[in-house]
C-alpha cells in the first residue's frame, strides 16, 4: 500500500466525521467504507488504524498541535509522531507552511506534559484510575490501553478441537497460536478478514476476546441444566455457554434490545446449537423473568457498563463517557444483579461481570449486593478456574488487565446461593 494524497483525503474525511459524530467509531468507519467501495482491503486497514490512532492519542496529539487543533493537524501529528511516517513520505500532502509546524509538533516533549495528557485520558478517568492503581501499574496499563487489541477466536467445541483448528489455520498461512488462559482460545497476529474463511462460515470458530471466554468457564454450565445469559447482547457468551453445555439443557438469552438479539440468529445458525432460547424482555423486572424465579442452575450477568476495559478496541469511549453516566450505570447494574439473582435456585451459581476497569462498577456493586443478599456467598474465581485446569492467580475476583493478561479489561465475581 502506497501513501497517497487520495488516501490521506479519505483518512481526513473519516476523522472529521468521527470527531463530530455522536455515534460509536466503528459504526462511522464501517458506514464510510460502505459508501466508498473503491477502497481496497489494505487501504481500509490504513484508514481505520490511522483514525483509531488519533482517537487513542487525541489528548497528547492535541498538545502537539498547539492552539489550532484541527482534524488535519491531528492526523499529520499522528502519522509523523505515532505511526512513524518520515518527512519524505509526508511531503506529498504537506502544505508550504506545515513543514515547520510539524517539526515543532515532533519536538514537543511528552514527559513534560501532565500525566492525564501524556497517558491520553480525560482528567476524571485518570483520577479514578490513579485512585485504584499505583504509579508502577498505572503507566503500563495506560500504555496498553493505547495499543491495538489482537484478534482472538473461540473454537466451537460442538464442531472442532483447538489443536485441529490451529493446525488448519497454520497450514492456511495464518499466524495463529493458542491463547495462554482459555483452553478454547486462539490468538491471531494481524487482522485477517475472516468472514469468508471456511472455518468461520461453518461455525468452527467465532470471534471472542479471551477475557470474555473466561467468563463462561466461571459460570461453568453443565449438560442438561437450566441457564440464563441475562444481558445476552449479540450473543457471543451465549454461544460459548451453549457449547459448554454440549447443546443439552435449556439456555435463555435475555436482552431488552430486539436488534441485538437479531444479530444472534445467524451466529446461532452457524454454531449448531439447539438449546438456545432468545427472549426479548422489557426490563429486568419483566414477567417472563419472574416466571422463572428460583428455577435456574446458573445465571450470567454481563452487565451494561462503561466499556472502559475495551479501550484498545473502542478508544472513542473514553471521550464519550462521563462520571455522571457511570453513576447512572452503577444504579442500573445493582438493579439488574438483584433481579437476575431471583432466578437462581438453592445451590445455583450467579456470575456478575463487566468490561469496565472502575471499582464503582465492579467491586462496589458486588459488595453492595452481597451486603443486601446474605443468601449468596462469594466463591473464589481462582479456585473455580483451577478446577477446570485454568491456572490464573486472581484470588476471589477475576480482574483481567491488558498489560498483565493481554486481554480486554474484565471484572467478574462468582457467587453461590446457599
Q: Which residues are catalytic?
A: 355
Chain position carrying cell 490464573? 392
- Nearest residue to 56 via CA among 313, 302, 388, 232: 313
- Nearest residue to 117 via CA among 134, 136, 142, 137: 142
Rounded Cα distance, 150 and 256, in Å: 30
Q: Rounded to whole angstroms, what are the CA distances from 254 to 86, 191, 231, 283, 299?
A: 51, 31, 6, 10, 11
Rounded Cα distance, 199 and 271, in Å: 11
* For helices 41-56 and 25-35, angle between their N-to-C axes, nearest 10 degrees: 150
- Interstrand relation of 376-379 and 398-400 (parallel, antiparallel or unpaired): unpaired
- Nearest residue to 297 via CA among 398, 379, 219, 213: 219
Q: Rounded to whole angstroms, what are the CA distances from 354 to 231, 300, 303, 386?
A: 11, 11, 6, 21
- Nearest residue to 376 via CA among 336, 414, 411, 333: 414
Amino acid at each position: 500500500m502506497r501513501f497517497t494524497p487520495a488516501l490521506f483525503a479519505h483518512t481526513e474525511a473519516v476523522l472529521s466525521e468521527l470527531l463530530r459524530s455522536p455515534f460509536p467509531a466503528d459504526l462511522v468507519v464501517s458506514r464510510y467504507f460502505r459508501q466508498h467501495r473503491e477502497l481496497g482491503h489494505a487501504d481500509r486497514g490504513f484508514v481505520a488504524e490511522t483514525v483509531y490512532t488519533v482517537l487513542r492519542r487525541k489528548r497528547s496529539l492535541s498538545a502537539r498541535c498547539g492552539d489550532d487543533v484541527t482534524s488535519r493537524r491531528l492526523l499529520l501529528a499522528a502519522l509523523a509522531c505515532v505511526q512513524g511516517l518520515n518527512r519524505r513520505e509526508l511531503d506529498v500532502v504537506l502544505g508550504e507552511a506545515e513543514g515547520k509546524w510539524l517539526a515543532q509538533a515532533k519536538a514537543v516533549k511528552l514527559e513534560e506534559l501532565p500525566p492525564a495528557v501524556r497517558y491520553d485520558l480525560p482528567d476524571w478517568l485518570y483520577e479514578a484510575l490513579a485512585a485504584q492503581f499505583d504509579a508502577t501499574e498505572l503507566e503500563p496499563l495506560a500504555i496498553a490501553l493505547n495499543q491495538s487489541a489482537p484478534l482472538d477466536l473461540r473454537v466451537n467445541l460442538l464442531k472442532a478441537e483447538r489443536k485441529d483448528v490451529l493446525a488448519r489455520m497454520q497450514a492456511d498461512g495464518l499466524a495463529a497460536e493458542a491463547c495462554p488462559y482459555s483452553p478454547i482460545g486462539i490468538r491471531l497476529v494481524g487482522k485477517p478478514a475472516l468472514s469468508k474463511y471456511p472455518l468461520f462460515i461453518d461455525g468452527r470458530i467465532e470471534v471472542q476476546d479471551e477475557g470474555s471466554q473466561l467468563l463462561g468457564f466461571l459460570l461453568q454450565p453443565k449438560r442438561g441444566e437450566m441457564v440464563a445469559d441475562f444481558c445476552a447482547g449479540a450473543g457471543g457468551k451465549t454461544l460459548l455457554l451453549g457449547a459448554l453445555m454440549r447443546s443439552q439443557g435449556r439456555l435463555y438469552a435475555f436482552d431488552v434490545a430486539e436488534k441485538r438479539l437479531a444479530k444472534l440468529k445467524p451466529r446461532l445458525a452457524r454454531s449448531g446449537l439447539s438449546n438456545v432460547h432468545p427472549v426479548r424482555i422489557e426490563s429486568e423486572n419483566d414477567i417472563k423473568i419472574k416466571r422463572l424465579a428460583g428455577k435456574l442452575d446458573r445465571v450470567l450477568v454481563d452487565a451494561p457498563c462503561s466499556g472502559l476495559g475495551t479501550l484498545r478496541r473502542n478508544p472513542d469511549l473514553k471521550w464519550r463517557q462521563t462520571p455522571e453516566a457511570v453513576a447512572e450505570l452503577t444504579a442500573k447494574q445493582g438493579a439488574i444483579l438483584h433481579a437476575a439473582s431471583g432466578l437462581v435456585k438453592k445451590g445455583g451459581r450467579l456470575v456478575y461481570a463487566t468490561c469496565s476497569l472502575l471499582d464503582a462498577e465492579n467491586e462496589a456493586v458486588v459488595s453492595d449486593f452481597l451486603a443486601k443478599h446474605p443468601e449468596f456467598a462469594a466463591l473464589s474465581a481462582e479456585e473455580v478456574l483451577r478446577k477446570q485446569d485454568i491456572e490464573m492467580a486472581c484470588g476471589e475476583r477475576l480482574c483481567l488487565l491488558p498489560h498483565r493478561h493481554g486481554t480486554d479489561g474484565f471484572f467478574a465475581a462468582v457467587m453461590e446461593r446457599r
